[in-house]
Structure 1
Amino acid sequence: MDADSLSFRGEGSGVDAMLGMRTESTAGRRDGRSHGEMRAMSVSYGELTRADGSARVRLGTTDVLVAIYGPIECPHNKQDAEAVHVHVAFGRREAMSNVAGAETGAGTESMITRDLEALVSDVVLATLHPRKAVVVAVQVLADSGGVICAAINATTIALIDAGLPLRALPLAASVSIHNNAIIVDPVVVEEREADAVVCIVFDTALENDDGFMSVYTMGDCGGEELFAATVEVCRQLVVKTRAFFRLSLERKAAVHHIWNAP
């Protein structure tokens, strides 16, 4: 299902009611976007000169900075003779927001930390650096919604910037569900009003495959059919995100080549 095939009406967040037939109505979202429209996205690299790699991803005013340190020496009690040890340090400049009724604060932070550690451990070619460590420092500078999605994407780009060999290229997309309508890239107020918020991670190295890696859900997704539609919408969003990041990396490589040309 294409995100732009959905039509609905309402005030405020524009997701108050689903129409029974196609019309010219659009979602009157508070920031003026349509229901299938992402916020403006930007990415920058190498802002932290003391890190081995870094990336800063912005989704609207959501702003996440990730630094990669390593492979570096690992404490003896954390060493693995066959793989690299991954440690994630997660911090935030302002309180993170979530859907109403969901756990916030330290609980959410620990969940993201645990899942990012598992994700990085899975995608880094760990056997190339036994008894070493990779530290991923995530700093949430501002959270206006979609912070898990931004943190995952910034982490992947930072790993690339650090030059670490990867077995997969995970990228994420986030949607909310309200009255059976799928709302693309929700902001905080839409996350709070939603019946569910879903963030799905795909391996974008697999262009001709499913690539489904993991899913984060908060709330009631509304049944298998609606969840399947949600997965497809997120897949389309990730394809667009991958194209954007790929173009930015190609431009970075071109600038580096020109700068270092004899």
Structure 2
Amino acid sequence: MGEVRAALLEAARDLTGVSDTARLDAELLMAHALGATRDAVLLKHLGDPVPADYAALVGRRRAGEPLAYITGTRDFWTITLKVGPGVLIPRADSETLIEAAVRHFAGTAGPRRVLDLGTGPGTLLLAALAEWPEATGLGVDTSATALGYARTNAAALDLPATFIEGDWAADIDERFDLILTNPPYIADNDPDVAPGVRAFEPGEALFAADNGLAAYRAIVPDLPRLLGDGGVAVLEIGWRQGEAVAALVRAAGLSARVVRDLGDRPRAVVVT
């Protein structure tokens, strides 16, 4: 059966051609197989026998399946979300939107009402509600699968969120202090999409027509009627789309500025 220490080395070698974080992936898969944290694996379990299902987990990752689908969870901001096939996996870059909102509301009581358009498994909305415990929120998505995960996550985190199936903000008649959205923004022919992303994650959450701008053309015209006084909307963008999305916002009569992620790439448009 072998020891965990040797199995981690072998798995990291096997995953090198698949993942830029092969060793980390191997360790997280081992933690999942052992029902332990990664730290516990490295500090306490290196001499333990290898779990019987570990090789199968590594095989799934080697075939390109996203790590989050295999483990069933992904950490985002201060929360842990359940995820699986049919939902967009939260990315660390999307935390840029929450950071922008935190800066906007610094020195205030924070938002009381939050809207998340294209909520997926509840990623942005639930992170915001965890940040501002007095707030309540509404999440909208077209995917029943995604909404199922979002409701499960809200219940597990005990956060006051409601989720509805809808076409962006078409049926919403309310004003919000904070609007968040990570819409599909990748052009169908974009050559930079990783094969595992294209093969496993839902295309409707990734790809958009009009060179990736179709969702913004649907969302931005509604922002003037949705944003409350002193409110802010933060829209995730592809790194080439800052000026195009900002122009749409300004055409709707609102102000826009582009903010960058930790990799210093344009990541969001902040709308006031």
Higher RCO by CA contacts (8 Å cutoff, separation 6 or greater): 1
TM-score (norm 2): 0.26
More helix by share: 2
Give the structure with the larger strand fraction.
Answer: 1
TM normalised by structure 1 equals 0.27
